[in-house]
Amino acid sequence: MSCDCPAVDPMESAMLREFLSHWSPKVETMPGQRQSGALPYSVVEGRVVFLLITSRRTGRWIFPKGDIEPGMTPWESAALEALEEAGVNGQIGTEPVGSYRSSASVDGSSLVDVDLYPLRVETQLDTWKEMDQRLRHWAVLPEARRLLNDSALSRLAVKLQIQLRRESQGAVPPAA
C-alpha cells in the first residue's frame, strides 16, 4: 500500500515538536476526575425533543453537568444538576449514553471527562435554582445539533435518539 504523502524530514519534524512544546498551550486532562451530566429529553407526538441550557460562563448551548456530589452515584448527581440548572426532573438512566471531554477551567487549559445519563423529563418547574443564570430551550434533533457548539454533545444526542427509536421499535422518526 503506497501513500502520496510528502516525505517528512526528521530534522523538520523535531523542530516542529520543539516549537509546539514552547508555544502551544498546555492542555491536560485532570487525572481521575470525572463529572456527570444529564441528557434531558421527552417524547412529544412520537418525536424526541431535547432540553438544552446555556452555560453560565460562555452562554453556549449545552446539557446540564457538574461535579459528582459526595455520597451520590454519578446518575443521581446528574439528575440533581438537571434540577438545579434546568429546572427539570424525571427518570434518570443508570447507564451513560456516552462521555465527552469538557473544559474544566476558564482558560481551557484543563479538561475533564463527563458521563451523560439519559433523563426522561416528567416535570418542568416554572422556577428553579439557576433560572436567573441560564436559558433553557426544547429542540428536536436537527435544531439541537445546530445549537450545540460541541460536536461530541451532538453525537450523544443522536446516539440517544437511535437508542430510543430501537427501544420503541420504530415509533420515533429518524433524525433529519
Pairwise pLDDT comparison (25 vs 62), residue with the higher score: 62
Interval 62-121: pLDDT, tens = 999 999 999 999 999 999 999 999 999 999 999 999 999 988 766 666 789 999 999 999
What is the tally of structural domains in the chain? 1
Q: Are the CB atoms for 165 and 171 separated by under 8 Å?
A: yes
Closest CA to 56 of 22, 78, 36, 84: 84
What does the pLDDT average to over 50-59? 95
Q: Is residue 58 in a domain?
A: yes
Q: Is residue 2 in a domain?
A: no
Q: What is the mean pLDDT of the chain?
A: 84
| Cell numbers linked to 39 | 441528557
Q: CA 75, CA 34: separation in Å to the nearest integer?
A: 12
| C-beta neighbour count of 86 within 10 angstroms | 27
Domain CATH code at residue 75: 3.90.79.10
Q: Residue 176 above 70 pLDDT?
A: no
Q: Residue 2 above 90 pLDDT?
A: no
pLDDT at 1: 44
Q: Is residue 84 in a domain?
A: yes
Q: Is residue 125 in a domain?
A: yes
Q: Is residue 131 in a domain?
A: yes
Q: Is residue 33 in a domain?
A: yes
Q: Is residue 21 in a domain?
A: no
Domain that residue 47 falls in: 28-167
Alpha helix (H) residue ranges in 35-131 = 74-86
Q: Is residue 4 in a domain?
A: no
